[in-house]
Structure 1
Amino acid sequence: MALHETIEQTVTGLGYELVEIERTSGGLLRVTIDQPQVEGMPEQFINAEDCEKITRQLQFVLEVEGAAYSRLEVSSPGIDRPLRSEKDFVRFTGELVDITLKAAIGSAAAAGSGIAASRKKFRGTLERAASGWQIVWSEEPAVKPGVKVSKNRVSAPLQAMGFTLDEIAQARLAPVVDFKGRRPKSPPATEI
């Protein structure tokens, strides 16, 4: 059995989700795990005990399989979790994400939008669109803490760009540091 399949089977068998496997030239085997999202339940996070449990099981399994590695590291995906599959995009719809496209948007897409044709990186809210996915953002600079904002200030308009998963080079949750924890997503508006 291949190393990736062995690790994935072990991690999922213990009730976790495999996010990423990375091997370095120095013999480091890095395994990133997450808690699977259960509909209707609050989001759970990986802790040190979870990593320890997976580490012990993987050490045993990899020894039995005869896998070559010098050091095993099991960790959580962190606040800038990579988004790799359709399932990840569905799970994190409505969250702030950083997206890097494989190719620049080009002059045809940028025409009249005010976006540079050579732009490949975007930060905004991930949303489901009719043709796949879209990211929505505003070019308005963030307000610094303690600075008063006029009530008459006109907000910059929101911009949106549609994309498919095939067009993405890299997608990650944008690191939001909030010492009160990530805010729960507001429920989607229902149509009447």
Structure 2
Amino acid sequence: MSSVIETVTEMVQPILDEKNFELVDMEFVKEGKSWYLRVFIDKEGGIDIEECAYVSELLSEKLDSCDPDPIPQAYFLEVSSPGAERPLKKESDYERALGEYIHLSLYQAIDGEKQYEGVLEALTPETLTLKYRVKTRVKELTIERKNIAKARLAIQF
């Protein structure tokens, strides 16, 4: 499946560059009996539905004109915003999230927990520091970045 992602990334990047849009993430997944190619895009100030439709239309035309077809099976193309809980994948995502409330899923538990939510306080190439609450107390935890399975912005309730 990574070859599909690589091929589609090469196709969509010029479309995004032309409009100063950012490719946030992409996935090619099977859900039930159907395949989905999901492309998540953004820009400074947020992306709107017309911009998603524009990218979808141009990408769809490019995909349809390829021979051989990079995705031989039937699939649904979805182009959308990453939403309020945007994933943190690239270094620039983490840098932009400094001071923001985030959710982390870890490969190995720390203090018996594999999931944390809190404010991203500091960032180094090897670690990040999270300020989080346990009931009424505020704690700080430094986590090795290689232990982070998934990271995303989170909505604080």
- TM-score interval, normalised by the smaller of the two chains: 0.7 to 0.9
The correspondence for 1:128, drawn from 122, 138, 149, is 122
Unaligned runs of 5+ in 2: 1-5
What pairs up with 1:37-48 in 2 under 5 angstroms? 37=44, 44-48=45-49
Cα distance, 1:12 vs structure 2: 3.2
Alpha-carbon displacement from aligned partner over 1:92-147 (angstroms, at most 9, x marks no partner): 11111111111112xxxxxxxxxxx321111100121566311101213xxxxxxx
Distance 2:14 2:156 in 1: 31
Is the aligned partner of 1:159 residue 2:139?
yes
Which residue of the partner structure matches residue 173 of structure 1? 153
Cα pair 1:138 1:158 within 8 Å, conserved: yes
In our comparison, the structure showing a higher alpha carbon Rg is 1
Task: Tell me the secondary structure at the aligned position of residue 50 of structure 2.
Answer: helix
Unaligned runs of 5+ in 1: 38-43, 106-116, 141-155, 178-192
Higher share of residues assigned strand: 2
Higher share of residues assigned helix: 2
- TM-score of the aligned structures, taking structure 2 as reference length: 0.81
Is the aligned partner of 1:33 residue 2:36?
no
- TM-score of the aligned structures, taking structure 1 as reference length: 0.67
Distance 2:144 2:8 in 1: 30
The code of the aligned residue for 2:117 comes to R
Q: Percent identity?
A: 30
Counterparts in 2 of 1:86 and 1:129: CA distance versus 1, 3 Å: closer
Aligned length: 144
Which residue of the partner structure matches residue 54 of structure 1? 55
Q: CA RMSD in A?
A: 2.1
Which residue of the partner structure matches residue 3 of structure 2? none
